[in-house]
Chain A
Amino acid sequence: AQSVTQLGSHVSVSEGALVLLRCNYSSSVPPYLFWYVQYPNQGLQLLLKYTSAATLVKGINGFEAEFKKSETSFHLTKPSAHMSDAAEYFCAVSLRDDKIIFGKGTRLHILP
């Protein structure tokens, strides 16, 4: 069965610093991997998606993620944090069937 583990329920970074949110997955077959963002009291918005076409995936708002099969990881990064990046981020995995499995989320805090 597939699963997703997000390391750190809360991450704090200074404005302008590197953002790194960690995600490890477990899957018996090559998965699709996703990062979603959720602002307070809103739904989830797709940031980016890995579908095996390229290991480095670029998303919206300057985020990107790299698929590393050997490490079963799909970490999310952004070179320079902005105050508007403060939100909760969810990593998710799909086996290309009818369900997506979500991690428990990481809340990103941006320090001025």
Chain B
Amino acid sequence: DGGITQSPKYLFRKEGQNVTLSCEQNLNHDAMYWYRQDPGQGLRLIYYSQIVNDFQKGDIAEGYSVSREKKESFPLTVTSAQKNPTAFYLCASMDSNLYEQYFGPGTRLTVT
């Protein structure tokens, strides 16, 4: 089955700890994205990557970091500098021929 996997589904951390969210795709897509979703605010773009070893900041990159060492993988690190990290995080990849984004199941992060 082709698709995007995110792990874990639920993640709990103490304030002040960094945490890394996993995103893997086997769709052979070049572009990958991280979004944050909060109730009533839709999807906000954190980071995106169009190609391996390259990535760009989105609208709300502060307090987050990413890497893109492999085409299949685009992990997101939520650092202790992120003031309000509790949210639902969605990873996506894009079919560049169709301009369609495909989403993973999401990771719900709770920081207390």
Contacts and interface: CB of A to CB of B under 8 A. Distances in A.
Give chain A's interface residue range (CB within 8 Å of chain B). 20 to 34
Interface string A15-53: 000000000000000001010100001111110010000
A100 B101 CA distance: 8
Interface size class, chain B: 20 to 34
Interface string B72-107: 000000000000000010101010101111111110
A100 B99 contact: yes
B18 to A, nearest CB: 24
Contacts of A34: 100
A98 B42 contact: no
Contacts of B4: 43
Q: Which of A43, A45, A104 has the most CB of B within 10 A?
A: A43
25 contacts: A9-B40, A32-B99, A34-B100, A41-B88, A42-B106, A43-B90, A43-B104, A43-B105, A43-B106, A44-B90, A44-B92, A44-B103, A45-B103, A90-B43, A94-B99, A98-B48, A98-B94, A98-B96, A99-B45, A99-B48, A100-B94, A104-B40, A104-B42, A105-B40, A105-B42
